[in-house]
Amino acid sequence: MKNKITLFCISLCFTVFSTAQTLEWHQHFGNYSEDVMLAVDTDHNDNTYTTGYFGELTAFDNITLTGLGFFNGFVTKTDSNGNVLWAKTLSQPNDGDIDPNHSVIPKSISVDLNGNVIVVGYFDAGDFDANPGAGEYILSSTNYEMFIVKLDTDGNFLWATSFGATDDSFESISDVGTDSNGDIYVTGFYNSTISIAHPAGTSSITSSGFSDIFVFKYASDGYYLWMYSAGGTDFDLGMSIDVTPSGDSYITGQYRETSTFYTPMFGTESITLSTTPNYRGLFALKLDTWGNYQNAIKVGEAQSECIGTAIAVDNNNNAYVTGYYGGILISNEGTSDQFSIDSDSNYEAFVAKVDFTNSNTSWINEIDGGPDSIFGYGIDIDSNNTIYATGFFSSTLTVGNYTLNKQTTHVFDSYLVKMNSAGEFSGGYQFGALNAVESQPVTVDSNDNIIIAGSFRETANISPFASETIQITSSGFRDNYLFKIASNSLLNIADNNFDESIRIYPNPVKDILNISSQEPLQSENYTIFDINGKSMLTGIVNFNNQINISHLNSGFYFLVLNGSSERLKILKK
């Protein structure tokens, strides 16, 4: 998946203040049974692809899918305007011997440069028909098994493969990415031994502890290429992968105690990362296109929890990671660049920048939930390395000068945050409603539009804009939503677009804002908006060309005169 991903405060300000912000498009999918959307990706034409699972029945516009087991997979394609082009089912074969307890759970999705669709996940012991079309392609296992399915851009079956451990052990496939050749990279975790047969023989990896990290590569035609394993004697989890066009892969997740990330054949010592006893560590790993170890960085450690759930990579050998932690998260420990953040006895989300060139953490910022927990789940970056992160919060959310309060009666609301590559937050938005966290995928398309997918329960407002309400109601337990935010809806708060003849001072300002102009401004109407586009102050410029803003809270605002589309940024002290 493009985990550019790959949870959340975003300054979605007006491009034209006289026009309310709205979603570019939105969709509501589902039926009376359970529906959960787990992953999203886009192609070079800005079509959107999603995957997840459903119960007995689900619907995508006028396309109805029927399941054959307890949970069944779905794969969809939506055009750049939000119209559903196709939807496919991944389930057990319809051969008259239906197991009502059998499940197929897709976990992630990636689209290559030719629009081919790669879906990864797992299925229960028994048979799985990996061909969602008229034919069959049966994958069978006596244990829990992981799978890769490749479809063409129209949803037609191309090939599939599966692999798993030697016993029904602790294992899962977490994420998938593709390079410019269409080669496929997957990550996850496993216990025991995984063996993959191929024309040259059989390749195997064996875990050192309860679970180890794996990374596999397959050619675009499904031919196995290589496998990589890392870990120690405790829990080690591969959670997310992002792949560059040249085939470098970046992975994040969790390790505990001491984990080995590189073992040479001879001559030098193994490369390990370690935590304080009983702590959890957050790692970022880089492999080259041949599976050779390049670097492993300890992003941080914390006592009760510390895990990277999503990773996105820029063109400068930097990775951006989101996730959540409990306790005090310490980064760059024992160096002059050491810093820490404190979750205050609950779980908090974070966003971190990892510098693979200098092998350290550039910065790590907390998404603060106050007395309650926040979970970070998705991340992606645009062409300017602007960061978009998503997740869930259960009471309040604070990033920088911005605070959100949960608006629903459910356990969690969803969030979206925006920040620059230096780690500076520029706002936050909330949407959705649910009682359990599972996934909050986000991706950025080729035109820097933001696509967000997720699940909700009962009634929820899925618009992140204060100026818009989009209420949707689930047909059953949980339904899915999918929406697009146009790139021109996202204004960097550093931008002003007033005519050069107009100046404001002082800025930052505490009480009185002065306006200098070549034209008289007395009796001009003005409006001051907050970063969410909400009108905070209106009035008429006085005879001294001044506006009193002393009663406004500290933070960023925008000044608009006479309902113009022009604006000036204000920083209130």
Name which residue leads in pLDDT, 480 or 268. 480
- Coil/strand/helix, residue 487: helix
Where does 25-487 sit in CATH, by number? 2.130.10.10
Looking at every residue in the chain, the average pLDDT score rounds to: 89
Query: Are the C-beta atoms of 462 and 472 separated by less than 8 Å?
Result: yes
Cα–Cα distance for residue pair 512/498, rounded to 1 Å: 20
- pLDDT: is 18 or 103 the higher one? 103
In 246-338, the DSSP E strands lie at 249-256, 258-262, 271-274, 280-287, 293-302, 305-313, 318-331
Q: Which segments of 61-200 are extended strands (E)?
A: 63-66, 72-78, 84-90, 104-111, 117-123, 126-129, 138-141, 145-151, 157-163, 172-178, 184-190, 193-198
What's at 367, amino acid-wise? I
Q: What pLDDT band is residue 564 in, cutting at 50, 70 and 90?
A: low
Cα torsion angle, 396, 340, 187, 78, sign: positive
Q: What band does 403 get if pLDDT is binned at 50, 70 and 90?
A: confident
Percent of the chain exceeding pLDDT 70 equals 91
Higher-confidence residue of 512 and 494: namely 512
**pLDDT tens figures, 34-91:** 999 999 999 999 999 999 999 999 999 999 999 999 999 999 999 999 999 999 999 9
Q: In the beta sheet, which residues pair with residue 232?
A: 259
Amino acid at 180: S
Evaluate if residue 437 carries a pLDDT over 80: no
Rounded distance, CA 144 to CA 103, Å?
10
Question: Which position has the token pair 């929406």?
Answer: 483
Residue 236: closest CA among 166, 287, 294, 283: 283
Q: How far apart are CA 443 and CA 4, in angstroms?
A: 6
pLDDT tens sequence across 314-348: 999 999 999 999 999 999 999 999 999 999 879 99
The model's confidence at residue 522, banded by pLDDT at 50, 70 and 90, is low
Structure confidence at residue 540 (pLDDT): 82
CA 115, 121, 122, 123 dihedral sign is negative
Nearest CA to 454 out of 378, 510, 537, 401 is that of 378
Residues 6+ apart with CB under 8 A from 567: 14, 17, 496, 497, 498, 529, 558, 559, 560
- Phi first, then psi: give them for residue 2, nearest 5 degrees: -75, 85
Q: Exposed, middle or buried: residue 249 (CB in 10 Å: 0-12, 13-18, 19+)?
A: buried
Buried b / exposed e across 324-362, counting CB within 10 Å, b at 16+?
A: bbbbbbbbbeeeeeeeebebeebbbbbbbbbbbeeebbb
| pLDDT given at position 524 | 77
User: How many C-beta atoms surround the C-beta of residue 244 within 10 A?
Assistant: 18
Yes or no: say if 296 and 253 are a contact pair by the CB < 8 Å rule: no
More confident residue, 372 or 173: 173
Confidence of residue 1 (pLDDT cuts 50, 70, 90): low
Determine the pLDDT at residue 497: 39
User: Which residues are within 8 A (CB) of 422 and not within 5 positions of it... i.e. 6 or more apart?
Assistant: 363
Is the backbone of residue 134 left (phi > 0), alpha (psi -120 to 50) or beta?
alpha
Distance of CA 512 to the CA centre of its chain: 41
Which pLDDT does position 275 carry in this prediction?
A: 97
Measured at the CA of 110, the angle between CA 109 and CA 114, to 5 degrees, comes to 140
Does residue 308 carry a pLDDT above 60? yes
- Judged on CB neighbours under 10 Å (0-12, 13-18, 19+), 186 is buried
Q: Is the pLDDT of residue 250 over 90?
A: yes
β-partners of residue 73 are: 53, 90
Give me the numbers of helices (H) and strands (E) for the chain, helices first please. 0, 47
Predicted confidence at residue 509, as pLDDT, reads 87
Q: How far is the CA of 216 from the CAs of 145, 205, 226, 518, in angstroms?
A: 15, 11, 6, 65
Mean pLDDT of 280-290: 99
Q: For residues 206-222, give the mean pLDDT.
A: 96
Q: Residue 516 has what pLDDT?
A: 81
Task: Kindly provide the b/e burial profile for residues 429-447, where b requires at least 16 CB atoms within 10 angstroms of the residue's own CB.
Answer: bbbbbbeebebbbbbbbee
pLDDT for position 488: 66
Token representation of residue 311: 């990773």
Q: Which architecture does CATH list for 503-572?
A: Sandwich (2.60)
Residue 11, pLDDT > 70, answer: no
- Residue 426's pLDDT is 81
List, in sequence order, every beta strand (DSSP E) within 338-469: 339-355, 360-367, 374-381, 387-393, 396-399, 402-405, 412-419, 425-434, 442-444, 450-456, 459-461
Domain range summary for the chain, segments of one domain joined by +: 25-487, 503-572
Average pLDDT over residues 481-507: 66
- What is the predicted pLDDT for the residue at 4? 38
Interval 187-200 mean pLDDT: 94
Output the six-digit token pair for 68: 């054959």
The pair phi, psi for residue 487, each rounded to 5°, is: -60, -30
DSSP state of 271: E
Strand partners, 377: none
123-161 per-position pLDDT tens digit: 999 999 999 999 999 999 998 999 999 999 999 999 999
Percent of the chain surpassing pLDDT 90: 67
> Which helix (H) or strand (E) is 547 found in, with range?
strand 546-548
Structure token digits, residue 222: 């499904």
Residue 405 one-letter amino acid: N
The whole model's pTM is what? 0.84
